[in-house]
Amino acid sequence: MGFTKYTSQKEKEQVRMNDAIRVKEIRCIGPNGENIGIIATHEALAKARELGLDLIEVTANANPPVCRIADYGKFMYEQKKKDKVIKSKAKVTETKETQVKIGTSSRDMEIKAEKSAAWLKEGHRVKVDLFLWGRYKYMEFNFLKERLERFLAIIPESYKIADEIKKSPKGLSVVLERDPSKKPAQKPAPRPSVPPEETL
């Protein structure tokens, strides 16, 4: 037994099996996962052929290499399933950014809060900037902090503070990350429109 016409060149390069395993001895794993131990490669290959299976190298860097007696097709199918699970768990985490201003309307704040919640739900961090310009740059820190916290309070997703509110080149900033231990916040009820200066 060996590679079939369905075996891709990439797989051939990644996986050594049967006659392609040229070391004198290996640590052999049986078809049911049992540890057969260190035996001569030709002996392991004979066992595999007797069972109508393949001898597949699973750990090339071990001394001696570890090989398993298994059906090549089933073995590769299981490997691909495992790789898919690992890939799905290893999602790339990014830091997304959103910006609000003193005077941002209630509707715009809700849209930005919902977008921030979607990012958090996907597992990303969210950096929120309170953009300050002109006279706002010189206002008291606690007053500005309270304005930024008004926005944080309407984000309809659970989160925790990853980087506390502090001054930044744009004004004030804070970094959030999802907190799965908390229940998502309820979406705020619609509020009547108010003048821009009273929104944030």
Residue ranges per domain, the chain?
9-88, 95-198
**What is the pLDDT at residue 199?**
57
Choose the CATH number for 95-198 among 3.30.110.10, 3.40.1180.10, 3.40.50.620, 3.30.70.100.
Answer: 3.30.110.10
Q: Do residues 120 and 155 make contact, with C-beta atoms less than 8 angstroms apart?
A: yes
The residue assigned the tokens 């059906």 is: 71
CA dist 82 and 177 (Å) reads 28
Q: Which of 130, 113, 134 is nearest to 170 (CA)?
A: 130
CATH class of the 9-88 domain in this structure: alpha beta
CA dist 55 and 2 (Å) reads 9
**What is the pLDDT at residue 194?**
41
pLDDT tens, N- to C-terminus, the chain (200 residues): 444 444 454 554 468 899 999 999 999 999 999 999 999 999 999 999 999 999 999 998 899 999 999 999 998 898 888 888 777 666 667 899 999 998 889 899 999 999 999 999 988 999 999 999 888 888 899 999 999 999 999 999 999 998 899 998 889 999 999 887 765 554 444 444 444 444 56
Judge if 9-88 and 95-198 fold alike in CATH terms. no
**What is the pLDDT at residue 40?**
96
CA dist 118 and 120 (Å) reads 5
Q: Which of 121, 122, 139 is nearest to 130 (CA)?
A: 139
Task: Please tell me the number of Cα atoms within 13 Å of 69 on its side-chain side.
Answer: 26
CA dist 68 and 18 (Å) reads 10
Which residue(s) pair with 163 in the sheet? 175
